[in-house]
Chain A
């Protein structure tokens, strides 16, 4: 079984500032890391490969230095990976990004299962997974919490439908986007890192793709434009409960269950 995990390089700190004038994320001097949501996907892929045999690869789109997260995926146990990088891809919105990735996947290899994280910590749209599946003509499922088994060419999984949990199966090849916090991702191994060689990371650019119409990529292939980016408002709202211990615990219980924290 061949599994592909889509990953993205994002700013290393969750306290990234937004330039108030240009509305662009200030990336200078900020370290980067693999999108934390993708780590859950990678962990799921690696544990499935351990269980059923097979190969895990990672794929990313980004500047050439995004190679770093492919190496990181290899250090976690992936066999190799691909970086899609080209100036023509720059400025892509969700649509153009998903299209580029789908073109890249076609060139990178044949996969039975493609796994995406729920969303990224810098873009937060949670749409790329589903759109990639659409462009590839694959069935897909979002908010996957666990994969129970893979049998007879089908993946059996549990997904969250907000108020309900659904158990479903889907014919492979297919794509799933996994929810956050569904496992504890394994750590990258220094021992593996010592043995990483250049040929483990493939580089693909515009010229390698099937569709050579530049209008389908980057800024020109984008259907939407970002008008403004701003940090979410910080919520420091506080509630104080009074009354007897029973009343207070009752109020606390209703609040946290109303917010679906339990």
Chain B
């Protein structure tokens, strides 16, 4: 049903974005066939690098008219194949749209193009005494990608997720029409919130070409606490008690000794403590030392009371770096520890985290496979990795399917959902459908149709299946 990109189409594309910004066939680096995790692979027919809303609009008009599939891509750091052009066609790369356009100190917003990297945005905000709170581990992801997956990250416990910080979007519809959704406004009861529908839509509804993001004043003080426990069970069981204490840390992460050792290997850098089997890492922030220390003390004392081995204070730039750089490298470190892996980013109610983690441990034993995990204990979003190690092709396929089926089923039983922050993309569609059921999937398909009648934008993702 899609048309192939013709020589004439390529010429038109070259006229729109410039000859040097259209790559075809073997000119395209093979990395554009997959995302960070790999597994789902398909080369686009053309890679088109765009620089402005107008260019995106012209490209979409052509694609609409000729019924050519278009997949939007930022840094390609996704984990579920959302930015892979599974139907070929045009891969629209937004990384050159990387300007921070405006800092509005009166409305506490920053306006950015979608190709700005998360690390660039957070550094810019901090230089100006602001904080952009969403803090996913992958700092080289683009903001466009973060918005498209509704990325969460480590500070979600206190500050929420990307959606909570998107005030307005400029988008290009599949037919090339440019629209503004939301704006520099703090409240909005004006009809359906299309802006919120676009956040998390993984490039299936429209192309984001500009975003107005909310900032908060930069908290002056932040202290982390690394709390060692004798085993994972006691570490995870401590989390609900910390939450019940009503102190609100910005982050509560859990990590096992194994994962820390992988990251030591991967980074070639020692972690400050590896004597214990399990750790919880918490951060507290605020504007006065006294207040932050009070929070930190309360939690440190609580942890010691309920059986923590100790509570280590992570209070200086150097100490934070030694701990958080390891935490930031966990995904890559686990990846480097095995031959192949696949991930599961379920989210469960916070008070079910311990039950889910215990389940993955017994599953690992039962299936005789390594299932390391780490994640956001404080918001229920877990990153669970199934490692192939020395399994044969057939065994790997078999084990992977069984493990995924069991884990998603368990998450559902516990009142959780398929993805906390990585999205559905191409890889997790079946699990989403199983969990949500036909009615909700059909509703999603109808929304997709309302935006993109011709189904040219990122086809076969989230709720759409190959016909």
Question: Which A residues are closer than 8 A to B by beta carbons?
Answer: 12-14, 31, 33-34, 36, 39, 75, 183-191, 193
Q: Which of A39, A184, A188 contacts B271 (CB 8 A)?
A: A184
Q: Is the CB of A183 within 8 A of B313?
A: no
CA distance A12 to B317 in the complex (A): 8
Contact of B11 with A by CB under 8 A: no
Contact of B191 with A by CB under 8 A: no
Contact with A along B316-332 (1 / 0, CB 8 A): 11110011000000000
B269 neighbours in A (Cβ, 8 Å): 184
A14 neighbours in B (Cβ, 8 Å): 317
Contact of B179 with A by CB under 8 A: no
Closest chain-A Cβ to B405's Cβ sits at a distance in Å of: 41
Instruction: Rank and list the top 7 A-B pairs by shortest CB-CB distance, nearest first.
Output: A187-B312, A184-B270, A190-B311, A190-B300, A33-B316, A191-B310, A188-B313
Question: From B312, which residue of chain A is reached at the shortest CB distance?
Answer: A187
Q: Is the CB of A13 within 8 A of B272?
A: no
Within 8 A of A (CB), among B273-306: 273, 289, 297, 300, 304
Question: From B317, which residue of chain A is reached at the shortest CB distance?
Answer: A14
Q: Which of A13, A183, A185, A193 contacts B317 (CB 8 A)?
A: A13
CA distance A70 to B319 in the complex (A): 17
Q: Is the CB of A191 within 8 A of B316?
A: no
In the complex, how many residue pairs between chain A and chain B have their CB atoms under 8 Å apart? 53
B270 neighbours in A (Cβ, 8 Å): 183-184
CA distance A189 to B228 in the complex (A): 11
Q: Is the CB of A187 within 8 A of B316?
A: no
A36 neighbours in B (Cβ, 8 Å): 316, 318
Q: Is the CB of B318 within 8 A of A191?
A: no
Q: Is the CB of A187 within 8 A of B317?
A: no
Q: Is the CB of B226 within 8 A of A187?
A: yes
Query: Can you add 15 more A-B contacts, CB < 8 Å, to A31-B221, A39-B318, A184-B272?
Result: A13-B317, A31-B289, A33-B316, A184-B269, A184-B271, A185-B318, A185-B319, A185-B322, A186-B312, A187-B226, A187-B312, A187-B314, A189-B312, A190-B297, A190-B304
Query: What are 30 contact pairs spanning A and B, CB under 8 A?
Result: A12-B316, A31-B289, A34-B316, A36-B318, A39-B318, A75-B313, A183-B270, A184-B269, A184-B270, A184-B272, A184-B322, A185-B318, A185-B319, A186-B272, A186-B273, A187-B226, A187-B272, A187-B312, A187-B319, A188-B315, A189-B310, A189-B311, A190-B225, A190-B297, A190-B300, A190-B311, A190-B312, A190-B313, A191-B310, A191-B311
B226 neighbours in A (Cβ, 8 Å): 187
Q: Is the CB of A188 within 8 A of B272?
A: no
B225 neighbours in A (Cβ, 8 Å): 190
A33 neighbours in B (Cβ, 8 Å): 315-316
